[in-house]
Amino acid sequence: MKKKQLIPFCLPLMICFISISNPSYPQNQENKIVNKHMIKPNIFLIPDYGCNVIVIVGQEGLLIVDSGYKRFSMKLDSVISDISNLPRKYILNTHFHVDHVSGNKKISDGTADIIAHDNARKRMLSEWNVPDVQGRNVRVIPPYPEDFLADICLNDSLVLFFNNDNIQAIHFTDAHTDTDVVYYIRKANVMLAGDLFFSNGFPIIDIYYGGTIDGCMKAIDKILDICDSNTLIIPGHGMPSNRRGLVLYRNMLSESISRIHKLMEQGKTLKQVIDSDPLGDIYEGDSSWVPEDVFIHTVFNDLSGK
Ligand SMILES: [Zn+2]
């Protein structure tokens, strides 16, 4: 594969993702985040079990945001126990995708109440089955048994008082999916953005389960309205970031979408758009976690109403 040059637009983006990370962030030799990290007093990030998992230690127990993949849940369980053996009070889900919820049963430990959007519970009662993407086989996820599902469902918003802080849950109707909830920990000034933000490349947008490009952009704008320059923003995947990182991410999305749209207006087919490599200068080589052709496939299908 030819070495791709970064355009000036994305250079600050990449620098930003590096420089805005907590400087004390522990990293192993593969430059991967290790195990768990305290991002604020009593708030921990566990990054390597499918998605970014957050643990808040309160006086009476633990509040955990997302539960990763089921296949990693034994290990995640022991990392959480290592943080604290206090009872688990709440599991909050950011949306219904398998990499965020399939550890729910194990991580809730029979004690925690699972909280998610109403649509997440509904979606998890049926199988998740999307068409293959650019020749990649997408695994069908069967319906979940009752003990993986939310005990408490929210609709538009919810405020949860925990650990002398208040956590504001806000739903977005048609963004990454139609089940998205972001959690803003007000006093600690930490925004848990779920998959409305990927700090490691192009996003996945689940257009088959209520997600839209337009809804994603609107959701990001709303998150930016809530955050200030000191807010720590935790994406669903990738390194911790901040408001400036999210602004750059929004700019990257907007630029990418407009390039794809321009080619579509010229009458190009999906294959022709992908072959012309319109986003090849945005992330070098395979540095985006989600490959360029997968993202183009999503944007093309969404904009053409498929
Ligand atoms: Zn997702």
Q: How much distance in Å is there from the Cα of 290 to the middle of ligand 1?
A: 12
Ranges 144-153, 230-239, 297-306: which has the least confidence: 297-306
Q: How much distance in Å is there from the Cα of 99 to the middle of ligand 1?
A: 7
Q: How much distance in Å is there from the Cα of 177 to the middle of ligand 1?
A: 7
Q: How much distance in Å is there from the Cα of 108 to the middle of ligand 1?
A: 20
For residue 267, what are the CA distances in angstroms to 133, 162, 270, 275?
Answer: 21, 53, 10, 14
Separation of alpha carbons 128 and 126, rounded Å: 7
Percent helix, strand and coil across the chain, each rounded to 5?
A: 35, 25, 45
Q: How many helices (H) and strands (E) does the chain have?
A: 9, 13
Q: What percent of the chain has pLDDT over 90?
A: 83
Q: How much distance in Å is there from the Cα of 267 to the middle of ligand 1?
A: 31
What pTM does this model have? 0.88
- Do 93 and 120 meet the contact criterion of CB atoms below 8 Å apart? yes
- Do 144 and 120 meet the contact criterion of CB atoms below 8 Å apart? no
Separation of alpha carbons 299 and 207, rounded Å: 9
- Do 223 and 181 meet the contact criterion of CB atoms below 8 Å apart? no
Q: How much distance in Å is there from the Cα of 210 to the middle of ligand 1?
A: 12
Left (φ > 0), alpha (ψ -120 to 50) or beta: where does 114 sit?
beta
- Do 202 and 288 meet the contact criterion of CB atoms below 8 Å apart? yes
Question: Can you give the pLDDT at residue 287?
Answer: 87
Q: How much distance in Å is there from the Cα of 266 to the middle of ligand 1?
A: 31
Q: How much distance in Å is there from the Cα of 252 to the middle of ligand 1?
A: 19
Q: How much distance in Å is there from the Cα of 5 to the middle of ligand 1?
A: 29
Q: How much distance in Å is there from the Cα of 97 to the middle of ligand 1?
A: 5
Reported confidence tier of residue 14, pLDDT bands at 50, 70, 90: very low
Specify the higher pLDDT residue, 134 or 221.
221
- Do 136 and 291 meet the contact criterion of CB atoms below 8 Å apart? no
For residue 36, what are the CA distances in angstroms to 44, 53, 63, 77, 142?
Answer: 7, 9, 15, 12, 30
Ranges 128-137, 188-197, 244-253: which has the least confidence: 128-137
Q: How much distance in Å is there from the Cα of 8 to the middle of ligand 1?
A: 29
Is residue 298's pLDDT more than 50? yes
In angstroms, how far is the first alpha carbon of the chain from the final one? Answer: 31
Q: Taking residues 246-253, what's their average pLDDT? A: 97
List the structure tokens of 73.
């849940």
- Do 167 and 186 meet the contact criterion of CB atoms below 8 Å apart? yes
Beta strands 241-242 and 232-237: pairing type? antiparallel
The total of other beta-carbon atoms located within 10 Å of residue 121's CB is 20
Separation of alpha carbons 282 and 239, rounded Å: 18
Domains, the chain, in order of start with CATH, read: 18-256 (3.60.15.10)
Q: How much distance in Å is there from the Cα of 98 to the middle of ligand 1?
A: 8
Q: How much distance in Å is there from the Cα of 196 to the middle of ligand 1?
A: 8
Q: How much distance in Å is there from the Cα of 203 to the middle of ligand 1?
A: 9
Q: How much distance in Å is there from the Cα of 176 to the middle of ligand 1?
A: 7
Q: How much distance in Å is there from the Cα of 71 to the middle of ligand 1?
A: 17
Q: How much distance in Å is there from the Cα of 80 to the middle of ligand 1?
A: 22
Separation of alpha carbons 92 and 66, rounded Å: 6
Is residue 26's pLDDT more than 50? no
Q: Taking residues 140-145, what's their average pLDDT? A: 97
- Do 286 and 294 meet the contact criterion of CB atoms below 8 Å apart? no
Reported confidence tier of residue 32, pLDDT bands at 50, 70, 90: very low
Specify the higher pLDDT residue, 32 or 50.
50
Beta bridge pairs of residue 52: none
Beta strands 53-57 and 62-65: pairing type? antiparallel
Is residue 275's pLDDT more than 60? yes
pLDDT (tens digit per residue) in 61-101: 999 999 999 999 999 999 999 999 999 999 999 999 999 99
Q: How much distance in Å is there from the Cα of 258 to the middle of ligand 1?
A: 23
Nearest to 151 by CA among 210, 100, 90, 229: 90
Residues with CB under 5 A from ligand 1 (ion): 97, 195
